[in-house]
Chains A and B, each alone.
Chain A
Amino acid sequence: MDNFLQVLLDGVLNGLVYALVAAGLSLIWGVMDVINFAHGEFLMVGMYVSYWLGFILKIDPLFSWVAAGLFLFILGAVTYKIIIRNSLGKSGMAPLLATFGLSMVLKNFCMNRFTPNFRLLSGTILEGKTLSFGGAIISVPQLVTALFALVVLSLLYWMLKKTRLGWAIQATAMDKEAAELMGIKTENIFLLVFGIGGACVGITGGLMTSYLAVYPEVGGLFSLIAFVVVALGGFGSIPGALLAALLIGLVESFSGFYIAAVVKYVAVFAVYLAVILLRPRGLFGW
């Protein structure tokens, strides 16, 4: 029973983190129909921002996530302004290849500037802290990241559903031309969406630095899982991303423990394939 609870909690906590990583990607994909291949590298940049703030200025990841989120908001907006805007409307592949190029630039830039060394922040406020719950042990840094994920996702959902900005984003996603006729400046909406997408992944990266090593390749598998989550949850759907991410986290955790650790990603991708075959637009797609 202890093991079951531990595996369940691990799955839920990892799932919530995946949800926040995927939320930005989902938003960008849903609104602009653009696949941001540099999403994993955005996560890595967010982690580096938090790491260096912790290492040089001794700012704990509990606070530096704000800076990481802000930095990635700006990086996302700049990416849209310089790269995406110029590649939109040229060919379906253009934005995809452009963001792939950006991912290479970011990864190699960090490799060159920071070396491929693994960097772990030590002496953080939450380091080593655990909670015991029904015989299971919960890592506090992971719990805090997961709770932040819930809060950020709720805010994002509220913004999309209850504010004029959110309605404008939804209108742009549904019909760009019609939204423009209604007076919505879709150009600004795209810029904002890319910025918000960056901020979400920046916040996640900033918080993850309290328990995960930073290195230039760290975003790889996270980004792959984020793509699975978005496709599974439905493009542009925040509740879909949350549910899909929880499903992925639980499948990964239970298959890893009860079948074999080595098949956990096989199980994740098998579930993804099954859902895509049965419901191609995902669970909650727009």
Chain B
Amino acid sequence: MSMVSRKRTLFVALCVLCTVLFAGSAFAEEKIIKIGTLFPLTGPSAVSGQNCLNSVLAAAEVINNANPDLNIPLAEKAGLLDGYKVVIVKADHQGKPDVAKSEAERLYNQEGVFAIIGSYNSSATKPASAVAERAKKLFLCGASSSAALTERDFKYFFRHAPTDAIESKEFTDYIEYLNKEKNAGIKTIGLFYENTEFGKHAADEGKKAAKEIGLEVVADVPFNNAATNLSSEVQTLKAANPDVVFGAALGADYSLWVRTMKQVNWLPKMAVNYCTGYQNPAVQKELAGDGDYFMGGMSFSPELAQKFMPEAIKVQEKYYRPLANQEFDSDSLQEGVMLLILAQAIEKAGGLDTERVREILATETFVSPLSLSGEVAFEPGGQNVKALSVITQMKDLKYNTIYPTKYQDSEPMYPMAPWDKR
């Protein structure tokens, strides 16, 4: 090697060294907590995924800025601990479990996130949270409702939403109430669900709960999501003609289901939905009057929030609406709530020790003005024992709360009005 090239090599090496050192000191000075989000930002569930992401971004704004107008823990001061800001690192699992797994690995190993919030589709949450458990990293889940997720005895997994088991029980309680108080005469049930982790578990729990109150299951109709048509599925339901249908169809499939029932001029007496397209105001807006009289379990509705969760409305108007151009929905809100709960746990832990934060999440009760119950506490396995949802019924683009009676703001409209009488 000549003298000139040796000098040049030395110069380049010094430049690299300086860059690394300066970059290192810059990182050291930057007080940030990286939180990963893993949602379906493309694919059939993209609408809901984008809403979930926007909700987490809104929650990050609540934490990072001083918000004395919001009566939410940590909202008053800007940042966490001694001035740490939350930085959201986004990832898209496209609704595919294998992509969710690899993206979770990337977020933890390459992006170095402290925790992941996600993943909306239970089928994606399952493998992604298994990655977290193996890596001993935190995974916080807002809306995935498959009961199986919190039956794995995971230590690093925490979920806010009520499970399908809780919702199924609530649905059958409501049916008993209708049969008793309104002489509804509901005796048979049909299940219509997407053939995924979420759909299958919801249907299993639905059947179990129905059996407990003596309902006869006359139709069990799984379908492939993102279908080109649902003609044979709806025809199967129509042929069995159940009194009530429990539905688990997300986004576009939900609107296609409703429209196909209209096409064949059939409706059950009552249709109740798990966490599905029913809860998405954008889907309801597109369905307009066709979405009326359907019901669903919800932890949030604008009408409910006015009465019981006023802070959620404030966050919605201040941070969420400018991002999403719409109101919160039940699913998206819960993802944001999980970031607020994580922030409280970090603050209580006094630092970014994952084990310490995990212990606090597992043992303490958190004040949560953005949750319907006002509190969040996790049992072993990670299920939020304070999870609460109500049954709402859609009418004129409004989610009217009809059950439990404590929260009721409208009388249930039963049976559903036939298509030709609307």
| Interchain CB contact under 8 A, A118 and B252 | yes
Interface residues of B in 227-262 (CB under 8 A from A): 227-229, 231-233, 235-236, 239, 251-252, 255-256, 259, 262
0 or 1 for each of A187-198: is its CB under 8 Å from B? (1 = yes):
000000000000
| Interchain CB contact under 8 A, B236 and A261 | yes
Q: Kindly provide the distance from the CB of B223 to the nearest chain A CB, expressed in whole angstroms.
A: 5
Stretch of B280-288, B352-360, B363-371 that contacts chain A: B280-288
B49 — which chain A residues lie within 8 A by C-beta? Answer: 116
Is B44 in the interface zone, CB < 8 Å from A? yes
| Interchain CB contact under 8 A, B226 and A116 | no
Cα distance, A220 to B44, chains bound together (Å): 10
| Interchain CB contact under 8 A, A137 and B263 | yes
A14: contacting residue among B221, B229, B282, CB under 8 A: B229
Query: Could you say which of B41, B46, B231, B235 has the most chain A C-beta atoms within 10 Å of its C-beta?
Result: B231
A107 — which chain B residues lie within 8 A by C-beta? Answer: 42
0 or 1 for each of A205-247: is its CB under 8 Å from B? (1 = yes):
0000001110111101110010000000000000000000000
Stretch of A3-11, A26-34, A154-162, A172-180 that contacts chain B: A3-11
| Interchain CB contact under 8 A, B259 and A120 | yes
Query: Could you say which of A118, A119, A256 has the most chain B C-beta atoms within 10 Å of its C-beta?
Result: A118
B46 — which chain A residues lie within 8 A by C-beta? Answer: 111, 116, 215-217
B47: contacting residue among A118, A256, A257, A261, CB under 8 A: A118
| Interchain CB contact under 8 A, B255 and A222 | no
0 or 1 for each of B257-290: is its CB under 8 Å from A? (1 = yes):
0010011110000000000000000110011100
Is B195 in the interface zone, CB < 8 Å from A? yes
Closest residue of B by beta carbon distance from A208: B228
Is A128 in the interface zone, CB < 8 Å from B? yes
| Interchain CB contact under 8 A, B263 and A130 | yes
| Interchain CB contact under 8 A, B235 and A213 | no
| Interchain CB contact under 8 A, A215 and B252 | yes
| Interchain CB contact under 8 A, A3 and B239 | yes
Cα distance, A260 to B236, chains bound together (Å): 9
Is B224 in the interface zone, CB < 8 Å from A? yes
B236 — which chain A residues lie within 8 A by C-beta? Answer: 256-257, 261
| Interchain CB contact under 8 A, A118 and B251 | yes
Q: Kindly provide the distance from the CB of A249 to the nearest chain B CB, expressed in whole angstroms.
A: 9
Is A265 in the interface zone, CB < 8 Å from B? yes
Q: Kindly provide the distance from the CB of A162 to the nearest chain B CB, expressed in whole angstroms.
A: 33
Cα distance, A212 to B233, chains bound together (Å): 16
Is B65 in the interface zone, CB < 8 Å from A? no
Cα distance, A119 to B255, chains bound together (Å): 10
A252 — which chain B residues lie within 8 A by C-beta? Answer: 232
A222 — which chain B residues lie within 8 A by C-beta? Answer: 228
| Interchain CB contact under 8 A, A120 and B286 | yes
0 or 1 for each of B111-137: is its CB under 8 Å from A? (1 = yes):
000000000000000000000000000
Cα distance, A227 to B254, chains bound together (Å): 26
Is B408 in the interface zone, CB < 8 Å from A? no
Cα distance, A256 to B234, chains bound together (Å): 10
A215 — which chain B residues lie within 8 A by C-beta? Answer: 46-47, 251-252
Cα distance, A255 to B224, chains bound together (Å): 14
Query: Could you say which of B229, B282, B286, B419 has the most chain A C-beta atoms within 10 Å of its C-beta?
Result: B229
| Interchain CB contact under 8 A, A117 and B282 | yes
| Interchain CB contact under 8 A, B232 and A7 | yes
A128 — which chain B residues lie within 8 A by C-beta? Answer: 262, 419
Closest residue of B by beta carbon distance from A256: B232
| Interchain CB contact under 8 A, B195 and A262 | yes
Given A116-B50, A216-B46, A217-B46, residue A10 in contact with residue B235 (CB < 8 A): yes
A217: contacting residue among B221, B226, B265, CB under 8 A: B226
Is B43 in the interface zone, CB < 8 Å from A? yes
Given A128-B419, A215-B252, A262-B195, residue A122 in contact with residue B288 (CB < 8 A): yes
Is A87 in the interface zone, CB < 8 Å from B? no
Is B381 in the interface zone, CB < 8 Å from A? no
Query: Could you say which of A117, A216, A255 has the most chain B C-beta atoms within 10 Å of its C-beta?
Result: A117
Closest residue of A by beta carbon distance from B219: A261
| Interchain CB contact under 8 A, A221 and B256 | no
Q: Kindly provide the distance from the CB of A39 to the nearest chain B CB, expressed in whole angstroms.
A: 14
Cα distance, A14 to B288, chains bound together (Å): 25
Cα distance, A222 to B226, chains bound together (Å): 10
B235: contacting residue among A7, A14, A221, CB under 8 A: A7
Is B222 in the interface zone, CB < 8 Å from A? yes
Interface residues of A in 1-29 (CB under 8 A from B): 3, 6-7, 10, 14
Closest residue of A by beta carbon distance from B227: A221
Closest residue of A by beta carbon distance from B194: A262
| Interchain CB contact under 8 A, A217 and B43 | yes
| Interchain CB contact under 8 A, B232 and A257 | yes
Q: Kindly provide the distance from the CB of B41 to the nearest chain A CB, expressed in whole angstroms.
A: 8
Is A142 in the interface zone, CB < 8 Å from B? yes
Is A103 in the interface zone, CB < 8 Å from B? no
Residues of A within 8 A of B (CB): 3, 6-7, 10, 14, 107-108, 111, 115-120, 122, 128, 130, 137, 139, 142, 211-213, 215-218, 220-222, 225, 252-253, 255-257, 260-262, 264-265
A211-B259, A215-B252, A257-B232 given; name 18 further pairs at CB < 8 Å: A6-B235, A14-B229, A116-B46, A116-B47, A120-B255, A137-B264, A137-B265, A211-B263, A213-B259, A221-B227, A221-B228, A222-B228, A225-B228, A253-B232, A255-B232, A257-B239, A261-B236, A262-B223
Closest 10 CB pairs of A and B: A256-B232, A116-B46, A139-B263, A10-B231, A120-B286, A261-B233, A257-B232, A262-B222, A118-B252, A116-B47
Q: Can you name 23 A-B pairs with beta carbons within 8 Å? A: A7-B235, A14-B231, A116-B46, A118-B282, A119-B286, A128-B419, A137-B263, A142-B263, A212-B256, A213-B252, A217-B43, A220-B226, A253-B232, A255-B232, A256-B232, A256-B235, A256-B236, A257-B239, A261-B222, A261-B223, A261-B232, A264-B224, A265-B224
